[in-house]
Structure 1
Amino acid sequence: MNAKLRNMTSIYLMKNDKVLLLYRQGGRVVNDVWTGSAGGHFEENELNDAKACVIREMKEELGLNPEDIDGLTLRYVTLRYTKDEIRQNYYFFAELKDNVNDDLKSNEGISKWFPIDEIVGLEMPFTAKYVVKHYYEVGRTTDKAYVGVTTNEGVDFMELSET
C-alpha cells in the first residue's frame, strides 16, 4: 500500500443539549453534507498537535477563541482508507460558554444548532456519521476517548485506554 496520509480535525460545539453543525460548501474533500462545527486539514506545524489545529480552525471558521469554550476534549480518532488515502480524523467536543453569543456564522457554509437527538439522521461524511451515532448512544455519558476503524460494515469503536 502506497497511500498518502490525510490528517483532519473537527470540533462539535455543544450548548443546552444542542450541537452546532456546519453544512459545508466549497471544501476540497467534503461538500454538501453536515459536519462538525468547524474543522479541516492540519498545517505542517500542527502534525503532532491536533488540538492546535482544531483551535486554529475554530478561530478561522467561527471567530471563536479558546476562552469562548469549556472542556475542549479529544473524544474520537478514526482511521479510514479511501481514494488511495489513509484518512485520520480527530474529533473534539466542547461546550460554548453561556456568555458567548451562539448566533455563529461560518465562512465555510451554513451553521445551524440542532437538538442532539436530531443529528444522527443527517447526511454526514462517512466516519463523522458513525462518530455522531456512537457519541449519541455511548460517548455523551462517559468521559472516555474512543478509536474507530472503518470496516465493510461501518466503523468499529473501542475505548482508547492508557497502558
Structure 2
Amino acid sequence: MKPILTAVVILATATAALPAVAQNAGQIARVRGGASCAGCNLFQGDLSGLQARGLNLNGARLRQANLSLAVMNRTRFSNADLRDVDAYGGVFSGSSFAGANLTNASFVGAYLDGANFSGATLSGTNFAGASLERATGLSQSRLNQACGDEATQLPAGLTIPHC
C-alpha cells in the first residue's frame, strides 16, 4: 500500500472508532437555568433538583440524564429520548411524555399524576412507588412492559408487573 493511502486508511479507521459528541454542555446549562430547549442534546445531563415549570423539551435527547428530585410540572417531553433516565423522586405533574421513549427509565417514587403517556414506549420502565393515579394515555399492554410494586398508584382498572 502506498504511504499516503495507508495514512488515509489509518485516519479513517481511527475516526470511525471515536464516539459521537455525547452532550451539549451549553444546552444543558440553558435548561438548568430554566430555559426551554426543544430538540436539544441533553445526553447524560445532570438536571437533578431542577425546579422549572412548563419547559418545552419536545424531541430532546435526554438519554441517561439525571432528573432525580427535579420538579418539572407541565414540561413537554413529547417524542423525547428518555432511555435510561433516572428520575427518582421527581415531580412531573401534568407533563407530556406522549410518544417519548422511556425504555429502562427509572421513575421510582416519582409523582406523575396528570401526565400524558399516549404512545410512549415503557419497556423496562420502573414505576415502583410512583403516583400515576390520574395519568392518561396508559394502556394495560404498555404497562405490562414496565414494572412497579405494591406502592405504585395506577388509574382504576390497570395493573403493573412487580419489579
TM (normalized to structure 2)? 0.22
Q: Considering fraction of residues, name the structure with more strand.
A: 1
> Structure with the greater relative contact order (CA < 8 A, sep ≥ 6): 1 or 2?
1
Q: Considering fraction of residues, name the structure with more helix.
A: 1
Larger Rg: 2
TM (normalized to structure 1)? 0.22
